[in-house]
């Protein structure tokens, strides 16, 4: 379910910074995996890159100013993209460019922080940004995560990943067993 997000001017700046941090972490981790040589051993996985992110956040205050949840989720998303690539179901992960595909994803307990403001509006609590208002056009169902994106026109949107209803297993009908027959002309003749 996708809704239009209405951040104020200060929140727009903070959301853009969060998106820039997520893009920086994605591109740096992607570069690390692409530049890895065979003689260096296996490429670093999510755990090794998460430990490197912690060291980078301690060394760089501008990176530490962003949300660690958003940055680690960018690493998780890249790891999932590589798994899909090696499984043969997706293309190779690409670089993220400023102004294109700007966004961040929130998963886990933080994704459930949504309040209803009035009949038509709700707010979502984004880490290090605050409560950001969005317009509801339909009722919210159960969700597990959300993604905040900005389009090229500067509009912000929030998309909730809804937990689907369980699909019942198909019932198998028993086929009527018929004996040997002869198909002659218009119908089957049974002996």
| Secondary structure of 20-55 in HEC code, one letter for each residue | HHHHHHHHHHHHHHHCCCHHHCCCCCHHHHHHHHHH
CA distances from 88 to 34, 81, 124 (A): 18, 11, 36
Query: Crossing angle, helix 68-87 and helix 46-59, to 10 degrees?
Result: 150
In this prediction, residue 45 carries a pLDDT of 84
In this prediction, residue 11 carries a pLDDT of 94
In the block, tokens 């890249």 appear at: 78
Please indicate, yes or no, whether the overall pTM of this predicted structure exceeds 0.85: no
Do residues 6 and 134 lie in contact, with contact meaning Cβ atoms separated by under 8 Å? Answer: yes
Q: How far apart are CA 102 and CA 69, in angstroms?
A: 17
Q: DSSP states of 86-101 as a string?
A: HHTSSPPP----TTSS
In this prediction, residue 180 carries a pLDDT of 60
In this prediction, residue 165 carries a pLDDT of 79
In this prediction, residue 23 carries a pLDDT of 92
Residues with Cβ within 8 Å of 39's Cβ and at least 6 positions away in sequence, in order, are none
Where do the structural domains in the chain lie, given as residue ranges? 2-162
Do residues 79 and 46 lie in contact, with contact meaning Cβ atoms separated by under 8 Å? Answer: yes
Tokens encoding 64: 């530490």
Residue spans of the chain under pLDDT 70: 173-191
In this prediction, residue 59 carries a pLDDT of 92
In this prediction, residue 177 carries a pLDDT of 61
């Amino acid at each position: 379910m996708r809704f239009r997000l209405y951040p104020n001017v200060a929140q727009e700046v903070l959301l853009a910074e969060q998106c820039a941090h997520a893009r920086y972490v994605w591109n740096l981790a992607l570069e690390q995996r692409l530049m890895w040589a065979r003689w260096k051993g296996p490429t670093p996985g999510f755990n090794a890159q998460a430990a490197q992110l912690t060291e980078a956040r301690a060394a760089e205050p501008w990176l530490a100013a962003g949300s660690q949840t958003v940055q680690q989720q960018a690493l998780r998303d890249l790891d999932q993209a590589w798994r899909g690539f090696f499984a043969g179901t997706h293309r190779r992960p690409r670089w993220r460019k400023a102004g294109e595909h700007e966004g961040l994803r929130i998963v886990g307990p933080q994704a459930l922080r949504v309040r209803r403001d009035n009949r038509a509006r709700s707010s979502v609590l984004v880490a290090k940004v605050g409560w950001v208002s969005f317009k509801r056009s339909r009722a919210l169902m159960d969700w597990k995560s959300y993604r905040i994106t900005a389009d090229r026109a500067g509009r912000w949107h929030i998309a909730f990943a809804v937990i689907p209803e369980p699909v019942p297993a198909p019932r198998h009908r028993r086929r009527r067993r018929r004996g040997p027959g002869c198909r002659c002309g218009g119908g089957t003749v049974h002996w």
